A and B are shown apart, each in its own frame.
Chain A
Amino acid sequence: EPEVTQTPSHQVTQMGQEVILRCVPISNHLYFYWYRQILGQKVEFLVSFYNNEISEKSEIFDDQFSVERPDGSNFTLKIRSTKLEDSAMYFCASRDENSYEQYFGPGTRLTVT
């Protein structure tokens, strides 16, 4: 069964460093999402992406964040200058155009020290 994959599974970085989280959505899906979950809190929407552009973003997704689909298979989330409060699980999700069901990846645990 096709699945969303994410790398790395765990990323440790120092405050102020740039990180890139990578996702490979399901191949025939057209809608892509990033969510995050701070430990013990709810899953929060960050950004949605369709047709090579951002379709919606939350207040969390400020100028420090960017997304890219560099090569037709990968979908990346970049945080330019990480802060301690960026420590969280980051989930990528994708869906096809015929369903509202989103398929989530296993997540990347980002730890900012």
Chain B
Amino acid sequence: SQQGEEDPQALSIQEGENATMNCSYKTSINNLQWYRQNSGRGLVHLILIRSNEREKHSGRLRVTLDTSKKSSSLLITASRAADTASYFCATVPGYSTLTFGKGTMLLVSP
């Protein structure tokens, strides 16, 4: 697989449930970032985790990073219909260029 591959490709849950998305990558990284994209719109930065960090929180978001397994997970707690979007992990193997995965499409039903 290529750098920054998300799993699952699609996820459908009910409002109030938690959503977990995973990302795997192949090369060493400086940091890993998660972005959200609403249909047909630009990408919005959600959270960044550096290679020397293991876990980070921001509001309802929790991201983990395991550099030994080259994987990261994004947890959205108490999901809302407005969380419906595609979620991408982006690795930064070098200085700043982002390498994106294919994304996870999250559908949160009311």
User: How far apart sit A91 and B37, CA to CA, in the bound complex (Å)?
Assistant: 12
B72 within 8 A of A: no
Partner of A100, one of B40, B43, B92, B103: B92
Asked if B33 and A104 sit within 8 Å, CB to CB, the answer is: no
Closest beta carbon of chain A to B6's beta carbon, Å: 9
Residue in A4, A56, A100 whose Cβ sees the most chain B Cβ within 10 Å: A100
> Bound state CA distance, A91 and B40, in angstroms?
11
Residues of B within 8 A of A101 (CB): 33, 45, 48
Decide if A44 touches B100 in the complex (CB within 8 Å): yes
B44 pairs with A48, CB closer than 8 A:
no
Whether A75 is near chain B, meaning CB under 8 Å from some CB there, is: no
By the criterion CB–CB under 8 Å, are B103 and A42 in contact?
yes
Q: Once the chains bind, are A103 and B45 in contact (CB under 8 Å)? A: yes
Q: A41-B102, A101-B33, A101-B48 are in contact. Are A95 and B96 (CB under 8 A)?
A: yes
B44 contact set on A, CB distance < 8 A: 104
Chain A neighbourhood of B94, CB < 8 A: 56
The DSSP consensus for interface residues of chain A is strand
Residue numbers in A under 8 Å from B95 (CB-CB)? 56
Asked whether B101 lies within 8 Å of A42 as measured between CB atoms, the reply is yes
Q: Which residues of chain B have C-beta atoms less than 8 A from A105's C-beta?
A: 42
Which chain A residue lies CB-closest to B6?
A: A42
Q: Say yes or no: B33 contacts A42, CB within 8 Å.
A: no
Binding site for A on B (CB under 8 A): 30-31, 33, 35, 40-45, 48, 88, 90, 92, 94-103
Contacts A93-B43, A102-B33 supplied; 6 other A-B pairs, CB < 8 Å: A35-B100, A43-B43, A102-B96, A104-B35, A106-B41, A106-B42
